[in-house]
């Protein structure tokens, strides 16, 4: 027995309104550091291009993704004193050797 399975993609923008319009394009975009994509019909694709095309003039291509820097916790005065005394102890030990 032969079975055929067909998968249809529907335009996400139309699907929000409970309309089933077949998607012909995939639109990729980045938002807050994450690359996302939506399925779109020809009409919605043109609408997105019209809306975002002016941003191309102001934007720049990204060469490499930036890594988020982790903030180091601020040292308290007592922690700095402990670090200083530990440094002094190691200097004394190396002087004795």
pLDDT of residue 19: 92
**What are the boundaries of each domain within the chain?**
8-60
Which tokens hold the place of 22? 């077949």
CATH of domain 8-60: 3.30.60.230
**How many other β-carbons are positioned within 10 Å of the β-carbon of residue 23?**
21
Q: How confident is the model at residue 84 (pLDDT cuts 50, 70, 90)?
A: low
Calculate the dihedral angle through the C-alpha atoms of 19, 23, 27, 32, rounding to the nearest 10 degrees: 40
CB 63 within 8 A of CB 71: no
Residue range 10-31, pLDDT digits in tens: 999 998 889 999 999 999 988 8
């Amino acid at each position: 027995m032969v079975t055929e399975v067909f998968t249809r993609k529907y335009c996400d923008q139309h699907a929000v309104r409970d309309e089933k319009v077949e998607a012909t394009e995939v639109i990729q975009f980045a938002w807050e550091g994450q690359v996302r994509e939506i399925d779109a019909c020809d009409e919605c694709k043109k609408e997105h291009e019209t809306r975002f095309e002016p941003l191309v003039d102001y934007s720049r291509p990204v060469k490499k993704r930036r890594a988020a820097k982790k903030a180091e916790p601020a040292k308290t005065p007592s922690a700095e004193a402990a670090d200083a005394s530990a440094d002094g102890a190691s200097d004394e030990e190396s002087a004795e050797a």
